[in-house]
Amino acid sequence: MSTIPAPSAVDALHGPPLPVLGADVRVPLITGDEVSYGALDYAASAPVLSSVWDDVSAYMPYYGSVHRGAGHLSQLSTDLFERSRRTVGEFLGCRGDDEVVFTRSTTDSLNLLAAALPAGTQVYVFETEHHAALLPWPPERLTVMRAPGSAYEAVEIVAETLACHDPQRPGLVCVTGASNVTGEIWPVGSITEVAHTAGVRVALDAAQLVPHRRVDVAGLGVDYVAFSGHKMYAPFGAGVLAGRADWLRTAAPYLAGGGASRRVVHGDGALSVEWQQGAARHEAGSPNVVGVHALASACRALTAAGFDALAAREEALLERTLAGLAGIEQVRVLSLLGGSAPRVGVISFVVDGWNSAHLAAALSAEYGIGVRDGMFCAHPLVRGLLGNAPDHSDECGAPEPLAPGARQVNAVRASFGAGTPVEHLDRLVAAVAALARDGSRWTYRTEAGRCVPVR
């Protein structure tokens, strides 16, 4: 007898998913049928919340230039832009003197922070970070810490590493809040305590945490936080870097141009520029007011839904899906920090005898489920989890079946959130079980590096 409750039990206990656009989109299957799209790639980009879309649509007739125009709509748009900044600051629980800088994405935010580091700053990252948090730092001032095997060990590694930090130099630990590969939540509060004891600041890569859990900058004590709108139900290309004002205030502008400059004078054959001091210093050019408005709208929507309620529902979905996958002998769910580590709605796994590119292609073509396959821009982490050599080359696209027990080179990731109906995850588990048991019903080949059904 199954111990997994009926799908309706999740909704009865935790309420239905939040309304998102695309919930009723139907997609064709290779077999000729049509099904509702099983959107399980939230960790890449989440669907847009209906309330965010409504807010954006309501604003569009009033769209105008920001910070420059004298007209009514310009003033309205400028006001909206600056109010959005306050909304985001409140959403994040920022300290009163923190800056909230609007960027394009988490990647952009962390590159901005890297460009704003005071001279001589030593940066510390785990090798398990997403490339956006692993790569922006100057290599000659970067210490890469080994992968921990538990949350406790992660804190220990930081403590050991920072014991050698020169207190005369600025330092920065950049750490993820939740892994985009395993979904596991990192012990950011404890890492921050250890880092601060060593006089080192902490930047939180909250790209995967912000859509799922309340991030409290002041409560956690982190110095900076970076995230993207498109992962929190607000596409349109806005991101955030929030945190301590001092480094940002003294750094060279991230982008040079209008908006970042207060006064420009040409004299004696040279330009002299007085740069802005606050967030505007790093926001040159016409800002993305639509993206920023959408992002602030998502902050309001998630706050109104309540993170406790969202997390409880997501945990019910996680439990159900992990239990379902655990019942399929060939499946191995990837975990770095150990089975008891809390997770957000991200599950990566491999199926013995299956190339993950092939599995993902079959899930899409035969079951209408959109997952991601590969190494998820976290190559060292995924190689480590799959037990591969660090210099192992990538072979993600090959559709050939693997022999049972053969080395895996990539994984499948299913990710979900506030808009996910139970049925999408139940369909995933049933599809993986059927594929593992019976194989695919179609033939696949590699085309331009992707595994695709032969038509």
Token pair, residue 97, equals: 């003197």
Nearer to ligand PLP, 215 or 422 (CB): 215
What CA–CA distance (Å, rounded) separates 194 from 47?
A: 37
Interface region with ligand PLP, contact rule CB under 6 A, candidates 105-113, 309-317, 330-338, 354-362 = 105-113
- Residue 133 touches ligand PLP, criterion: CB under 6 A: yes
Interface region with ligand PLP, contact rule CB under 6 A, candidates 32-40, 104-112, 166-174, 395-403 = 104-112
Q: Are 259 and 287 in contact (CB under 8 A)?
A: yes
- Residue 121 touches ligand PLP, criterion: CB under 6 A: no
Nearer to ligand PLP, 89 or 229 (CB): 229
Nearer to ligand PLP, 155 or 240 (CB): 240
- Residue 105 touches ligand PLP, criterion: CB under 6 A: yes
Interface region with ligand PLP, contact rule CB under 6 A, candidates 17-25, 83-91, 127-135, 159-167 = 127-135
Interface region with ligand PLP, contact rule CB under 6 A, candidates 130-138, 139-147, 426-434, 443-451 = 130-138
Chain-centre distance for alpha carbon 80: 25
Rounded to a whole number of angstroms, the distance between the first and last alpha carbons of the chain is 40
- Residue 208 touches ligand PLP, criterion: CB under 6 A: yes
- Residue 223 touches ligand PLP, criterion: CB under 6 A: no
Query: What would you report as the CA-atom Rg of the chain, rounded to the nearest whole angstrom?
Result: 23
Among 51, 107, 111, 356, which residue sits at the site for ligand PLP (rule: CB under 6 A)? Answer: 107
What CA–CA distance (Å, rounded) separates 352 from 287?
A: 48
- Residue 205 touches ligand PLP, criterion: CB under 6 A: yes
Please name the residue ranges forming H helices in 198-327.
Answer: 217-220, 245-250, 289-305, 307-326
Least gap, CB of 83 to ligand PLP (angstroms)? 23
- Residue 207 touches ligand PLP, criterion: CB under 6 A: yes
Please name the residue ranges forming H helices in 261-369.
Answer: 289-305, 307-326, 356-367
Nearer to ligand PLP, 30 or 175 (CB): 175
Nearer to ligand PLP, 226 or 362 (CB): 226
- Residue 410 touches ligand PLP, criterion: CB under 6 A: no
* Bridge partners, 413 (sequence order): 348, 372
Q: Are 17 and 419 in contact (CB under 8 A)?
A: yes
Among 39, 49, 132, 204, which residue sits at the site for ligand PLP (rule: CB under 6 A)? Answer: 132
Coil, helix or strand for 437?
Answer: helix
Coil, helix or strand for 16?
Answer: coil
- Residue 130 touches ligand PLP, criterion: CB under 6 A: yes
Interface region with ligand PLP, contact rule CB under 6 A, candidates 62-70, 142-150, 205-213, 278-286 = 205-213
Map the footprint of ligand PLP across residues 332-351, applying CB under 6 A: none
Q: How many residues does the chain have?
A: 455
- Residue 106 touches ligand PLP, criterion: CB under 6 A: yes
- Residue 364 touches ligand PLP, criterion: CB under 6 A: no
Least gap, CB of 106 to ligand PLP (angstroms)? 4
Give the containing element (helix H, strand E) for 370. Answer: strand 369-370
Residue type, 208: Q
Looking at the annotation, which residues are catalytic? 377
Nearer to ligand PLP, 78 or 176 (CB): 176
For 109-136, b/e burial (b = at least 16 CB within 10 A) is bbbbbbebbeeebbbbbbbbbbebbbbb
Least gap, CB of 5 to ligand PLP (angstroms)? 30
- Comparing CA positions, the residue from 198, 245, 192, 249 lying closest to residue 222 is 192
* Bridge partners, 78 (sequence order): none
Interface region with ligand PLP, contact rule CB under 6 A, candidates 84-92, 203-211, 285-293, 319-327 = 203-211
Nearer to ligand PLP, 17 or 291 (CB): 291
What CA–CA distance (Å, rounded) separates 130 from 205?
A: 9
Nearer to ligand PLP, 228 or 335 (CB): 228
Q: Are 105 and 242 in contact (CB under 8 A)?
A: no
Among 228, 356, 408, 410, which residue sits at the site for ligand PLP (rule: CB under 6 A)? Answer: 228
Number of residues that bind ligand PLP (CB under 6 A): 14
What CA–CA distance (Å, rounded) separates 358 from 410?
A: 10
- Residue 210 touches ligand PLP, criterion: CB under 6 A: no
- Comparing CA positions, the residue from 428, 419, 387 lying closest to residue 298 is 419
Is residue 314 exposed (0-12), middle (13-18) or buried (19+ Cβ within 10 Å)? Answer: buried
Footprint of ligand PLP (CB under 6 A): 43, 105-107, 130, 132-133, 176, 180, 205, 207-208, 228, 377
